[in-house]
Structure 1
Amino acid sequence: MKNSQINYKKIVEFLMGKTRGFPNWLIVILTFLFFVGWVSSPSSQPSPPRTSVKPIQTPSTAIPSPSPSPIEPKITPKMYDSNVRAICKTLAELELVSPRTAKHQLVLPTFDPETQVWTMRAWVDSQNQLGAMVRNQYICTVVDSSQQGILEWVGR
């Protein structure tokens, strides 16, 4: 057999075989697509042409639109909710008999932008003096600016 001739039988045998559990034909196609560039990134695609938009002509008897109201600035908190949860968890564990056995409820605190206060109502399970698991509910309030918290036990 000459070097210039293509042995189709060997090619078919290769394509029908398997390499590491994958069919060889799938590996050949994926390699071809990768090198040819059919798998392209979104940045390489051309952007659509820009067209000009004409304003809509309104009749003179149209109802006037209301004047825009001033936009109130959005007050963002200085702390993250995870910080508030950590502060409340620490405050609750300080008052438990057995803080190592504490299982806390995963609750997201709420932020009041008017008062700048975080509030979290949750429960904690822990062992009492006799070793029994007891559930205690609490309300934790954290001031955003000072990062100081107050813990109030409910029903204790």
Structure 2
Amino acid sequence: MLWVKRFQPDRQIAIDAVSSLDTLTALLDGQVGSVNRMHAVRLDGHFSRVTLRSVPRQAPPYRSVSEVVKDQNVFVLENVQGTLVGYRFPAFLSGVNAPGYHFHFVDLERRRGGHVLDLASASLLAQIDTTRAITLVVPDDALFDSTDFTASPGGSDYQPALRPNFQRPAPR
């Protein structure tokens, strides 16, 4: 899934030293207001450590996420300026997106980045955009209409059916 947001922060928060992603998310939960709302978050600063992952580029037929992450590349950046961007989804939307925070990082030069697994920083500036609405657009095609999503989430038919304009390879 891809989430896009016209980011318009409601507030800024200066964050002192954090030693882990868990520490950061607990601190943010105390600052965002209601955890039953959706929050887009941007954090800028100097990171003493950021542990990231990236996965190889995929091509049809798409593998499930659980299969793709088996080939993930985990790496650590140290003493780097950059930006974390992400969302916090509430628990009641777990059928739409995993609840909690999901962050991605990019360095100041926009050359290195990935999905954030852990981090440490002496200070960060957080900007938070709380929103009440999301728009969910689903594919408008026969493949989506005929897929049984209850049968095997993550199965071979699941992900192709969620990708608009997906072309299933011709049988050999």
**Please, what TM-score do these two structures have when normalized by structure 2?**
0.21
Where relative contact order (Cα < 8 A, 6+ residues apart) is larger, the structure is: 2
Q: Which structure shows the higher helix fraction? A: 1
**Please, what TM-score do these two structures have when normalized by structure 1?**
0.22
Q: Which structure shows the higher strand fraction? A: 2
